[in-house]
Protein backbone atom coordinates (compact mmCIF):
# COMPACT_ATOMS: atom_id res chain seq x y z
CA UNK A 1 0.00 0.00 0.00
CA UNK A 2 1.32 3.45 -0.85
CA UNK A 3 2.18 5.86 1.93
CA UNK A 4 1.76 9.65 1.68
CA UNK A 5 2.38 12.59 3.98
CA UNK A 6 -0.74 13.96 5.67
CA UNK A 7 -0.54 17.66 4.84
CA UNK A 8 2.12 19.39 6.92
CA UNK A 9 1.48 17.21 9.98
CA UNK A 10 4.65 15.15 9.60
CA UNK A 11 2.52 11.98 9.68
CA UNK A 12 2.99 9.33 6.99
CA UNK A 13 -0.32 7.62 6.26
CA UNK A 14 -1.53 4.91 3.93
CA UNK A 15 -3.47 6.10 0.89
CA UNK A 16 -6.44 4.20 2.21
CA UNK A 17 -8.00 5.09 5.54
CA UNK A 18 -10.15 2.53 7.33
CA UNK A 19 -13.34 4.15 8.58
CA UNK A 20 -14.93 2.61 11.66
CA UNK A 21 -18.48 3.97 11.61
CA UNK A 22 -20.15 0.53 11.62
CA UNK A 23 -17.90 -1.04 14.28
CA UNK A 24 -20.06 -2.02 17.23
CA UNK A 25 -23.27 -1.60 15.24
CA UNK A 26 -23.77 -3.67 12.10
CA UNK A 27 -20.29 -5.15 12.55
CA UNK A 28 -19.65 -6.80 15.90
CA UNK A 29 -16.41 -6.42 17.86
CA UNK A 30 -14.87 -9.69 16.72
CA UNK A 31 -15.51 -8.97 13.02
CA UNK A 32 -14.35 -5.37 13.44
CA UNK A 33 -11.02 -6.50 14.85
CA UNK A 34 -10.76 -9.03 12.01
CA UNK A 35 -11.01 -6.07 9.63
CA UNK A 36 -8.48 -3.83 11.40
CA UNK A 37 -5.62 -6.28 11.86
CA UNK A 38 -5.41 -7.48 8.22
CA UNK A 39 -5.67 -3.85 7.08
CA UNK A 40 -2.56 -3.08 9.13
CA UNK A 41 -0.84 -6.30 8.03
CA UNK A 42 -1.33 -5.23 4.40
CA UNK A 43 0.36 -1.87 5.00
CA UNK A 44 -2.64 0.24 6.02
CA UNK A 45 -1.90 2.46 8.98
CA UNK A 46 -4.62 5.14 8.91
CA UNK A 47 -7.80 4.65 10.98
CA UNK A 48 -10.66 7.10 11.38
CA UNK A 49 -13.22 7.18 14.19
CA UNK A 50 -15.26 9.68 16.22
CA UNK A 51 -17.11 10.03 19.49
CA UNK A 52 -20.53 9.64 17.84
CA UNK A 53 -19.98 6.30 16.12
CA UNK A 54 -22.27 3.97 18.07
CA UNK A 55 -22.09 6.28 21.12
CA UNK A 56 -18.34 5.75 21.48
CA UNK A 57 -18.46 1.96 21.09
CA UNK A 58 -16.53 2.15 17.81
CA UNK A 59 -13.67 3.94 19.58
CA UNK A 60 -13.58 1.28 22.30
CA UNK A 61 -13.31 -1.47 19.69
CA UNK A 62 -10.56 0.38 17.82
CA UNK A 63 -8.69 0.86 21.10
CA UNK A 64 -8.89 -2.84 21.87
CA UNK A 65 -7.77 -3.83 18.37
CA UNK A 66 -4.74 -1.53 18.24
CA UNK A 67 -3.59 -1.82 21.87
CA UNK A 68 -0.53 -3.92 20.95
CA UNK A 69 0.21 -2.14 17.65
CA UNK A 70 -0.56 1.47 18.63
CA UNK A 71 2.82 2.75 17.42
CA UNK A 72 2.12 1.37 13.93
CA UNK A 73 -1.21 3.16 13.50
CA UNK A 74 -2.14 6.76 12.74
CA UNK A 75 -5.42 7.36 14.52
CA UNK A 76 -7.69 10.22 13.50
CA UNK A 77 -10.82 11.19 15.39
CA UNK A 78 -13.41 13.92 15.18
CA UNK A 79 -15.14 16.04 17.80
CA UNK A 80 -17.92 18.64 17.90
CA UNK A 81 -20.39 16.24 16.37
CA UNK A 82 -23.78 16.03 18.03
CA UNK A 83 -23.92 13.17 20.53
CA UNK A 84 -27.53 13.62 21.69
CA UNK A 85 -30.66 15.71 21.18
CA UNK A 86 -29.86 17.64 24.35
CA UNK A 87 -29.09 21.35 23.72
CA UNK A 88 -25.48 20.63 24.74
CA UNK A 89 -25.28 17.55 22.54
CA UNK A 90 -22.49 19.15 20.50
CA UNK A 91 -20.00 19.29 23.34
CA UNK A 92 -17.10 21.66 23.53
CA UNK A 93 -14.18 20.30 21.58
CA UNK A 94 -11.84 19.74 24.53
CA UNK A 95 -14.61 18.04 26.58
CA UNK A 96 -15.30 15.64 23.72
CA UNK A 97 -11.60 14.87 23.38
CA UNK A 98 -11.26 14.13 27.09
CA UNK A 99 -14.25 11.77 26.91
CA UNK A 100 -12.53 9.93 24.05
CA UNK A 101 -9.33 9.63 26.08
CA UNK A 102 -11.30 7.91 28.86
CA UNK A 103 -12.21 5.21 26.36
CA UNK A 104 -9.68 2.60 25.33
CA UNK A 105 -7.69 4.61 22.80
CA UNK A 106 -4.23 3.62 23.88
CA UNK A 107 -2.50 6.98 23.44
CA UNK A 108 -3.04 10.49 22.15
CA UNK A 109 -4.93 10.79 18.90
CA UNK A 110 -2.63 11.53 16.00
CA UNK A 111 -5.18 13.66 14.18
CA UNK A 112 -8.19 15.52 15.54
CA UNK A 113 -10.81 17.05 13.26
CA UNK A 114 -13.59 19.51 13.93
CA UNK A 115 -15.93 18.78 11.02
CA UNK A 116 -18.88 21.03 11.84
CA UNK A 117 -19.34 24.41 13.55
CA UNK A 118 -21.10 24.64 16.87
CA UNK A 119 -24.87 25.09 16.46
CA UNK A 120 -24.89 27.34 19.54
CA UNK A 121 -22.40 30.02 18.51
CA UNK A 122 -21.82 32.36 15.63
CA UNK A 123 -19.27 30.69 13.32
CA UNK A 124 -16.56 33.21 14.16
CA UNK A 125 -16.98 32.59 17.91
CA UNK A 126 -16.99 28.81 17.44
CA UNK A 127 -13.95 28.96 15.19
CA UNK A 128 -11.99 31.11 17.62
CA UNK A 129 -12.85 28.98 20.64
CA UNK A 130 -12.20 25.70 18.88
CA UNK A 131 -8.91 26.83 17.35
CA UNK A 132 -7.76 27.78 20.85
CA UNK A 133 -8.85 24.36 22.17
CA UNK A 134 -7.12 22.57 19.29
CA UNK A 135 -3.93 24.52 19.94
CA UNK A 136 -4.12 23.66 23.65
CA UNK A 137 -4.58 19.95 22.89
CA UNK A 138 -1.58 19.91 20.53
CA UNK A 139 0.60 22.01 22.85
CA UNK A 140 -0.19 19.74 25.82
CA UNK A 141 0.73 16.65 23.80
CA UNK A 142 -2.74 15.13 23.84
CA UNK A 143 -2.97 15.31 20.03
CA UNK A 144 -0.10 15.05 17.59
Q: Are 51 and 79 in contact (CB under 8 A)?
A: yes
By CB neighbour count within 10 A (0-12 exposed, 13-18 middle, 19+ buried), where does 124 fall? exposed
Task: Find the helix packing angle between 57-66 and 29-41, rounded to 10°.
Answer: 50
- Choosing from 39, 53, 91, 137, the catalytic residue is 53
Residue 113 appears among annotated catalytic residues: no
Q: Are 62 and 36 in contact (CB under 8 A)?
A: yes
Question: Among all residues, which ones are annotated catalytic?
Answer: 53
Amino acid sequence: MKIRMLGRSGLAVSELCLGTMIFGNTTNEEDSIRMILPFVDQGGNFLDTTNVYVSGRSEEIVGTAIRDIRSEVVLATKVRMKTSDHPNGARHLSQAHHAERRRELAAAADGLYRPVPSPCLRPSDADRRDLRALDDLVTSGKVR
